[in-house]
């Protein structure tokens, strides 16, 4: 992206320009999606829009599947953790589970199918690498094209979340940003997901979100079905200091 375009965007452009910029830099800051790339499609689900169900099994004391290095990054005050487990280092398929910390351990919600970036995961995300960043990040802000469904997170409803075009498998992208939750990777918490502040620098990408699935790989975000996004928005509570723990299974187990 040219310096002149970046300058225009940093001056808070109108919604139409923001929508165009999201195609170039939203969802990971990578290049625009092209239909010649192919990848597996995540299984679909038709669960009703409701808060994540809590498992009746005994709650583990630590988040399952995470190794000591990953667990050390989870803040002690975090009482909610969205765990995104990728199928493989180079796979665009993953699962999402919301865990709630209780007095007896971490209670697991339902397991939801998800997509991550086309080329899988990376420990050092950069613009255009088409990989999702591995790590533990806070969840501070939400927004979308649709009205606030009742989330306790700060919510920015804006036409800037309008997106068009097609994804890597030729699937329509319309509606992908109806609901989004900003992942606090290379962004300033407390601002709209549309904000362009990049503390690590523009080359490290940004615009990494949880958003509505469009039945195909993303440029860097994690996407789940619309009803699951709505349920997640209703469940997350800033007072419980939610985080997302994301990466391929092998990386998370370190």
CA atoms 204, 119, 123, 144: torsion sign: positive
Span 59-80, mean pLDDT?
Answer: 96
pLDDT digits (tens, 9 = 90+) for 168-214: 999 999 999 999 999 999 999 999 999 999 999 999 999 999 999 99
What are the tens digits of pLDDT across the range 161-176? 999 999 999 999 999 9
Mean pLDDT of 149-166: 98
- Going from N- to C-terminal start, the domains of the chain cover 3-252
| Radius of gyration in angstroms for the set of CA atoms belonging to the chain, rounded to a whole number | 17
* DSSP codes joined into one string, 15-70: HHHHHHHHHHHTTTS-PPP-TT-----PPP----S-PPPPP-SPPPSS-TT--HHH
Between these two residues, 10 and 239, which has the higher pLDDT value? 239
**For residue 129, which of 141, 147, 117 has the smallest C-alpha distance?**
117
Which residues, at least 6 apart from 97, have a Cβ–Cβ distance to it below 8 Å?
A: 82, 83, 85, 108, 109, 110, 111, 112
How many whole angstroms separate alpha carbon 117 and alpha carbon 97?
A: 18
Cα-Cα-Cα-Cα torsion 209, 210, 213, 215, nearest 10 degrees, comes to 70
Give the pLDDT of residue 32.
Answer: 34
Q: Using the 8-state DSSP alphabet, how is residue 207 labeled?
A: -
For residue range 96-144, what is the model confidence (pLDDT) as tens digits? 999 999 999 999 999 999 999 999 999 999 999 999 999 999 999 999 9
Give the model confidence (pLDDT) of 9-40 as tens digits: 333 333 333 333 444 345 765 433 332 233 33
pTM comes to 0.81
Within 162-234, strands assigned E span 180-183, 209-212, 222-224
Res 28: pLDDT: 61
């Amino acid at each position: 992206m040219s310096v002149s375009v970046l300058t225009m965007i940093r001056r808070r452009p109108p919604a139409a320009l923001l929508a165009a910029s999201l195609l170039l830099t939203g969802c990971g800051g990578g290049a625009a999606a092209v239909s010649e790339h192919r990848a597996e499609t995540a299984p679909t689900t038709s669960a009703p829009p409701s808060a994540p169900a809590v498992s009746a099994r005994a709650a583990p004391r630590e988040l399952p599947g995470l190794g000591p290095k990953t667990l050390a990054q989870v803040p002690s005050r975090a009482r909610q953790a969205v765990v995104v487990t990728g199928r493989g280092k180079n796979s665009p398929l993953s699962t999402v589970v919301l865990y709630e910390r209780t007095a007896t351990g971490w209670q697991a919600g339902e397991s939801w199918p998800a997509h991550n970036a086309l080329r899988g995961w990376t420990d050092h995300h950069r613009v255009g690498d088409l990989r999702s960043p591995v790590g533990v990040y806070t969840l501070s802000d939400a927004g979308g094209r649709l009205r606030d469904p009742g989330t306790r997170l700060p919510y920015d409803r804006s036409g800037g979340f309008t997106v068009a075009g097609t994804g890597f498998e030729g699937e329509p992208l319309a509606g992908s940003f109806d609901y989004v939750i900003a992942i606090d990777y290379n962004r300033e918490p407390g601002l709209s997901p549309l904000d362009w502040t990049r503390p690590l620098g523009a080359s490290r990408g940004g615009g990494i979100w949880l958003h509505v699935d469009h039945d195909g790989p993303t440029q860097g975000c994690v996407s789940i079905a619309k009803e699951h996004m709505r349920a997640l928005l209703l469940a997350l509570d800033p007072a419980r200091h939610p985080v997302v723990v994301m990466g391929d299974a092998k990386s998370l187990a370190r």
